[in-house]
Structure 1
Amino acid sequence: MLKDRYRILVYVSVVLLGLLIFALPAEAGIVPGGNNPSSQFGGVYRRPLNNNPPSLDPARTADIYAYTVVNQLFDGLVQFDSHLNPVPAIAGFWEASVDGLTWTFYLRKDAKFHNGRGITADDFVYSLSRILQPETRSPVAEFFQYIKGAEEVMAGKTSRVEGLKALDPYTLQITLEEPYTPFLSILAMANAKVVPREEVERLGERFASQPVGSGPFRFVRWDQNEQIVLQAYEKYYEGRPFLDQVVFKIGKQDVENLDEFLRGNLEEAAVPSMKREEINRNPRYRSYLHLRKPTLHLLYIGFNNRKAPFTNPKVRQAFNYAINMEEIIREIRKGGSVVAKGVLPPGMPGYNPNLQAYYYNPKRARQLLAEAGYPNGEGLPVIDLWFATHEKSARAELEAYRQYLADIGVRVEIHQAPNWKTFKKMLQAGQPSMFRLAWYADIPDPDNFFFPLLYSQSKTNRTFYHNPQVDQFMEEARRETDYLRRVQLYRTMEQLVVNDAPWISQHHKVFEFLYQPYVRGVEINSLGAPYIPMKKIWLERPKDQQARRGEKDIR
């Protein structure tokens, strides 16, 4: 008798975060068809991917390119629905103790890995333990540190996680050291997917490029810088997906991908900011499906807070006041993004519309520079500003930064890294003084912005920002179960961060894509493109499409 427990299903996110109140509505909604009786099986879906993923191993991924593929190859205990509620995946249902410390998951008995072996609770014990083990070098280990015994494993003292237990082959129990409000959402992350131990051990480092998962699509091949090919998994526990294949076309940027889309070589394409006005006005685009939705995203211009002159907060504040962000978003991004004021995007619990943020004030910028010891920019070194994307608007944005900063006496040199992999290594080494970087939320929780980007010990804190008071507030907010108190903690934190100015907040991205008119079943949530479930998409006339291209199925 579970008199001291309550069963948690879809409504858990309402209890923990109030997500239904804050859920972002889609401007174009969902294209119907996922479970429509008229849905058709077959066809190849070609999807652009701007860069090669560094890895397809869930435990080691930390970027949108990897997440976009990993979410189709692997499944976990839970998954997000279109409103970002955690709903069943391999766990058919679950229970949590009233104190929020003990979680019990009851697994489906028909879920299998792509090698044909059935999935058990021991596989989840292995997969979650592996994230915490130092040799895995997982960039997301900190998300799971509240599991009982996790810190000992992370410190290399033991390999056994006390809080992970397989009670029987289909019952998993997870015990936490203390309440952790976003825990269930974290289990829906791309990193929390289950992996088969025998394949990880057999393949070693090659598992990152030859993954074996349990999701709706299985891995076929990866041609570096060209494509990643996935095949429908016939034994998927929800039933095989509608599409025969998903092919990720790698390496081209948004404008090039749009050209390929218009030639009929892709089923979808992002709307480049430079093309937004043309797409909205030109009748040639009206036959395509045009979907828009605000996302939980932040693009920022980071400062290396360990590197002079950005060790001085007045310099960082001066740079913030020097930039006319409204004009950049209006004239360069053509209004397709939301001007960012702080850390959290609109729609995220804790978002503060009354945040005291920076605004364009070059007079104040010059004053702060003088107070920092650099009157009219005298004595400042030439600032190196780095970026990696080949998106055309990015260089135009940074040229605008260069000009605005020149107006207050700052000299800036813009540099482009050859690819994301190189850029990431530079950021990890703390080489750039300034850099253009984006963050896409993994879960619909404010912790997923503050902790990865601003916690002093986070591996993805690229600015090397360190404020002990902010660290303390983050840890308190993770434990806080009172919703309103938690929101207030994040609002207090955000104002402290804005005052410290570890970066310049630029914009929050709006998901905006064109789809071919025969594409059906697209389901978009506020996490954007990486979390679109390809298993729900179908093509209205897949046989005609295959005949037109003359492509063959890959088995």
Structure 2
Amino acid sequence: MIKRTLAIIIFLLLGCENNLDSSKDIFRYNEYSNISSLDPAFSSTLRNIWPTHQIFNGLVRMDKNLNILPDIAEDWTISNDKKVYSFKIKDNIYFHESTYFKNGESRVVNAHDFEYSFNRLINKNIASPGAWVLNNVKSFKAINDSIFQIELFTEFNSFLEILTMKYCSVVPKEIVDSLGSSFSKKPIGTGPFKFKRWDENIKLVLVKNENYHEFDESGNKLPYLDGISIRFIPDKKSEFMEFLSGNLDFISSPENTIIDQIFNIDGNLNENLSDKYNLSKSPYLNTEYIGFNTSTNLKEDLLLRKAINYAIDREKMMKFLRKNIGYPAKSGLVPNGLNDNFYANRYFKNIDLASKYLNEYKQINNVENITINLTTDAQYLDVLEFIQSELKSLNINLKINITPPSILRQGKATGKFDVFRASWIADYANPENYFSLFYSKNHTPFGPNYTFFTNKEYDSLYEQTLIIKDKEQLNKIYMRMEEIISEYSPIVPLYYDMSVRLKQKNIIGLDNNALNILDLKTVYKKN
């Protein structure tokens, strides 16, 4: 009886989903890792950022070319000392409808809403992972309903980029107060789509915000779509089969186990797929790397780390393991899309040079057999097995320890692992964000310096990048910082990621971008 009842429930839910998805104006995608929260204060990963991006707005936004544009702020001014930002709030932006508003419908957004939202972001009782974005903020306040002012402790070139992050979205106080923690499951925002329902582990439904404030270049009201249906199929292979069956409108970044079915050796669609689907690719600001805990052996193990860097054929790795879906990390930490003006071929395979460094290391340390224990999660096992094979040519034994992603994150944050696999996805589109990984004041747990790297020259250069505006001067500093990282080798850069989107032929306007944000307000389905 229980099994029969469960089967009926599943049938009804899937039936409702199919009825919804039969509409040509419903965009359908899958989130295989599920969604933990729709509260922008907890939008720390793409699985949460994608839906919150549809629901919420902030003061400013970033377009697909990484330009800063007004969002809820109409415009802004910056003081001569570059510390005070004054934003003029548009007077025609409404929150989504809710019975919790005094009039039972909606109301206009004002500067006081941003004051509340920012206070909430740094509230320790909320414990938002995005509180750090306001670390350099001395104060913020609503001057009146129209002006929101922010004062920084020190000048910071990338502050507007930081404000584009979903953490800085505006939320309505009365709704958050009424719903409490349930706000993460029933959000009210200002975005092009509004929350409809969430059947956990099955699907999430967003519907068109008829009162959205933006128009396209021809004066047509946005968004075009009537809604969004997000499913939670936990298996990437099943997700791919659903896409092939026409039940999903796009899939993003297929995992390694199925890329042979999709791509040829050049990273293009296989012939059996090229006439049926559209493929779009672009640089994605994500660097995959192996990190070393250098807190006690920055100089002692330097020669060993350099030997490892010169032992790896990154181009071969990308060609045969990733079907060239991505770029070999030959320049350093900062990925393609941000490194054009200071790119250099710093990391390449040179087995003679690798052997030279390794022999020097063995002689100095009076060792013969070398074993390295590397900790990773299962997703990158094939890449690390390739590294393992490459190091065998130097008689280095690389032992790979598989651990759950949560344990890997915790171990990196506490300095537990001597060698670990890691990645850095840009919080905002500026090289400084990557270079912060090696700033000594960012040693974990106070920041993202998981390698515990420390270098006085590097620290000084990094601090200059926060205030210097001259691009030519900045590029020279970035060049030197990459050289310092290469000289000390606290990491082994592996590859730069790529935003890959496989789409049904009728999907129009779904563009890639360097931050891999899913922006659906200008997407539509062609008849």
Q: TM (normalized to structure 1)?
A: 0.78
Post-superposition shift, 1:328? 0.3
Match of 1:521 among 503, 509, 515: 509
Does the C-alpha gap of structure 1 residues 212 and 488 become closer, same or farther in structure 2, counting only changes over 3 Å? same
Match of 1:268 among 227, 231, 250: 250
Match of 2:414 among 418, 426, 429: 429
Post-superposition shift, 1:232? 2.2
Contact (CA 8 Å) 1:276, 1:334: kept in 2 or not?
yes
| Pair 1:71-2:50 in alignment | no
Post-superposition shift, 1:128? 2.4
The aligned residue for residue 76 of structure 2 is 94
The CA deviation string for residues 197-239 of structure 1, in whole angstroms up to 9 with x for no partner, is 3343444444444433222222344455444332222332235
| Pair 1:328-2:310 in alignment | no
The aligned residue for residue 549 of structure 1 is none
Match of 2:85 among 87, 92, 103: 103
Does the C-alpha gap of structure 1 residues 363 and 228 become closer, same or farther in structure 2, counting only changes over 3 Å? farther
The aligned residue for residue 520 of structure 2 is 534
Post-superposition shift, 1:76? 0.2
| Pair 1:277-2:264 in alignment | yes
Post-superposition shift, 1:431? 3.6
How do residues 19-38 of structure 1 correspond to structure 2 at under 5 angstroms? none
Contact (CA 8 Å) 1:350, 1:446: kept in 2 or not?
no
The aligned residue for residue 112 of structure 2 is 122
Q: Which is worse superposed, 202-211 or 259-268?
A: 202-211
Post-superposition shift, 1:501? 1.5
Contact (CA 8 Å) 2:75, 2:87: kept in 1 or not?
yes
Does the C-alpha gap of structure 1 residues 309 and 465 become closer, same or farther in structure 2, counting only changes over 3 Å? closer
In the alignment, the residues of structure 1 paired with residue 68 and residue 121 of structure 2 have an alpha-carbon distance, to the nearest angstrom, of 21
Does the C-alpha gap of structure 1 residues 403 and 349 become closer, same or farther in structure 2, counting only changes over 3 Å? closer
Higher relative contact order (CA 8 A, sep 6+): 1
Structure 2, unaligned stretches of length 5 or more?
A: 1-22, 99-105, 215-220
SS at match of 1:414: strand
In the alignment, the residues of structure 2 paired with residue 533 and residue 240 of structure 1 have an alpha-carbon distance, to the nearest angstrom, of 12
The aligned residue for residue 65 of structure 2 is 83
SS at match of 2:399: strand
Contact (CA 8 Å) 1:305, 1:465: kept in 2 or not?
yes
Does the C-alpha gap of structure 1 residues 220 and 423 become closer, same or farther in structure 2, counting only changes over 3 Å? farther
Does the C-alpha gap of structure 1 residues 337 and 253 become closer, same or farther in structure 2, counting only changes over 3 Å? farther
Contact (CA 8 Å) 2:374, 2:421: kept in 1 or not?
no
Does the C-alpha gap of structure 1 residues 271 and 59 become closer, same or farther in structure 2, counting only changes over 3 Å? closer
The aligned residue for residue 16 of structure 2 is none
The CA deviation string for residues 426-453 of structure 1, in whole angstroms up to 9 with x for no partner, is 4333344433333222322111222256
Q: Which is worse superposed, 172-181 or 333-342?
A: 172-181
The aligned residue for residue 10 of structure 1 is none
How do residues 42-441 of structure 1 correspond to structure 2 at under 5 angstroms? 43-114=25-96, 115=98, 116-147=106-137, 149=138, 161=139, 164-238=140-214, 239=221, 241-252=223-234, 254-270=236-252, 272=254, 273-274=259-260, 275-277=262-264, 280-306=269-295, 312-341=301-330, 342-348=332-338, 351-354=341-344, 357-373=346-362, 378=368, 380-389=370-379, 394-418=380-404, 420-441=405-426
Contact (CA 8 Å) 1:254, 1:271: kept in 2 or not?
no
SS at match of 2:247: coil
Post-superposition shift, 1:261? 1.0
Q: Which amino acid aligns with 2:523?
A: I
SS at match of 2:337: coil
| Pair 1:480-2:465 in alignment | no
Q: Which is worse superposed, 304-313 or 224-233?
A: 304-313
Match of 1:509 among 482, 494, 497: 497
Contact (CA 8 Å) 1:271, 1:513: kept in 2 or not?
yes
Does the C-alpha gap of structure 1 residues 236 and 417 become closer, same or farther in structure 2, counting only changes over 3 Å? farther
SS at match of 1:513: strand
In the alignment, the residues of structure 1 paired with residue 39 and residue 397 of structure 2 have an alpha-carbon distance, to the nearest angstrom, of 42
Across the aligned residues of Structure 1 and Structure 2, the Cα RMSD in angstroms comes to 2.9
Post-superposition shift, 1:85? 1.0
In the alignment, the residues of structure 1 paired with residue 411 and residue 25 of structure 2 have an alpha-carbon distance, to the nearest angstrom, of 41
Does the C-alpha gap of structure 1 residues 217 and 329 become closer, same or farther in structure 2, counting only changes over 3 Å? same
The aligned residue for residue 15 of structure 2 is none
The aligned residue for residue 447 of structure 1 is 432
The aligned residue for residue 483 of structure 2 is 495
The aligned residue for residue 459 of structure 1 is 447
Q: Which amino acid aligns with 1:396?
A: D
Q: Which amino acid aligns with 1:385?
A: T
SS at match of 2:167: helix
The CA deviation string for residues 243-262 of structure 1, in whole angstroms up to 9 with x for no partner, is 23222333545544332211
In the alignment, the residues of structure 2 paired with residue 315 and residue 321 of structure 1 have an alpha-carbon distance, to the nearest angstrom, of 10
Post-superposition shift, 1:300? 1.4
Does the C-alpha gap of structure 1 residues 46 and 452 become closer, same or farther in structure 2, counting only changes over 3 Å? farther
SS at match of 2:143: strand
Post-superposition shift, 1:292? 1.8
In the alignment, the residues of structure 2 paired with residue 441 and residue 210 of structure 1 have an alpha-carbon distance, to the nearest angstrom, of 28
In the alignment, the residues of structure 2 paired with residue 222 and residue 452 of structure 1 have an alpha-carbon distance, to the nearest angstrom, of 37
Structure 1, unaligned stretches of length 5 or more?
A: 1-40, 150-160, 542-555
Contact (CA 8 Å) 1:310, 1:316: kept in 2 or not?
no
Contact (CA 8 Å) 2:307, 2:357: kept in 1 or not?
yes
Q: TM (normalized to structure 2)?
A: 0.82
